[in-house]
Structure 1
Amino acid sequence: MTAPDLKTPTDLKSNATKSVAEALNGALADSFALYLKTKNFHWHVSGPHFRDYHLMFDEQATEILGVTDLIAERVRKTGNTTLRSIGDVARHQSVKDNDADFVSPADMLKELRDDNLALVETFRAVKAAATEAGDNATEGIVDDWTDQAEQRAWFLFEAARGA
């Protein structure tokens, strides 16, 4: 069976949207990896601040997951295709997985903070690609995602002061 033409109509040049889509797909992969890591830590946190960290990690994971759909839809709106599988995510992600049997709450906070700050840098690369491509819609929406990641990093930093 022949695949249908998935090219969404856009007035942006295809070579320009390709670089934006690549940057967005990298951000999408990192967002999925960060979502799963945040849920992992939500499921496995322990200690005297269990309830606070458990709830914060769940809130942050929900926020991150919400952004993934927006990122993927933005890729499609530019006339490109997005990630299709866990393997595809793994090939594009720069956020490192954490498969450790035990991670201390303090290390969880630090690792998630650092990963959110790395995601901020990824979003800044998306913004730069969008600016170069003249894609003002991506330029504008990525600012919200950057602010959310900065806020998560700030909360994690503040929570770690007592950890």
Structure 2
Amino acid sequence: MDPPPAEKSAHLQSYCSKTGRVVDVSTRNALSENICAQSVELLNEHLAAANDLHTQVKQSHWNVRGPGFIAIHELFDKVAEDIEGYSDLLAERAAGLGGTARGAVHGGDDLKRGEALQMFKAELTC
């Protein structure tokens, strides 16, 4: 078995909310700076999508009606809780790679807003 690769410092730029400036941040891991930057970008795309999904699930949770209300209401609450946990993981991994977790949902086409909740819109007749 080959030994693990030597740790390297990845230098990325991060936004400092205290000063409002972009600062250089370095982390120690076995990934190249390029791989770290690409990973942070991808993690942030998924973080934004997860936050969008969380908002949509909570919206559904708040607006459930009908005789099956409580079961579906509780289901949406559990799903939202799970999504929030995964969002935290995505954000922490982006930060751990030296990036800034950016979970804001941008209204752009790249996020395909609204598609994430399609699985929950299947004939929920209560």
TM-score (structure 2 length as normaliser): 0.68
Structure 1 residues 71 and 113: alpha-carbon distance in aligned structure 2, compared to 1, 3 A threshold: same
Task: Select 1:25's aligned residue among 23, 30, 44.
Answer: 44
- 1:6 is paired with a residue whose SS is strand
- Residue segments in structure 2 that go unaligned for 5+ positions in a row: 1-18
Structure 1 residues 37 and 24: alpha-carbon distance in aligned structure 2, compared to 1, 3 A threshold: same
Give, in angstroms, the shift of residue 70 of structure 1.
0.7
Tell me the equivalent position of 2:117.
112
- 2:87 is paired with a residue whose SS is helix
Query: Which structure 2 residues correspond to residues 76-115 of structure 1 after superposition, within 5 A?
Result: 76-83=95-102, 88-90=104-106, 94-97=111-114, 112-114=117-119
- 1:8 is paired with a residue whose SS is strand
Task: Select 2:89's aligned residue among 50, 66, 70.
Answer: 70
- Residue segments in structure 1 that go unaligned for 5+ positions in a row: 98-109, 115-155
Q: Deviations over 1:36-64 (max 9, x none)?
A: 10000000111222111101000000000
The answer to whether the 8 A contact 1:34-1:95 is kept is no
Structure 1 residues 72 and 39: alpha-carbon distance in aligned structure 2, compared to 1, 3 A threshold: same
- 1:82 is paired with a residue whose SS is coil
The answer to whether the 8 A contact 2:107-2:113 is kept is no
Structure 1 residues 31 and 162: alpha-carbon distance in aligned structure 2, compared to 1, 3 A threshold: closer
Give, in angstroms, the shift of residue 6 of structure 1.
2.7
**Alignment size in residue pairs:** 105
Identical positions, percent: 31
Larger Cα-atom Rg? 2
Structure 1 residues 39 and 162: alpha-carbon distance in aligned structure 2, compared to 1, 3 A threshold: closer
TM-score (structure 1 length as normaliser): 0.54
CA distance in 2, matches of 1:32, 1:162: 23
CA distance in 2, matches of 1:111, 1:74: 22
Greater fraction of residues in strand: 2
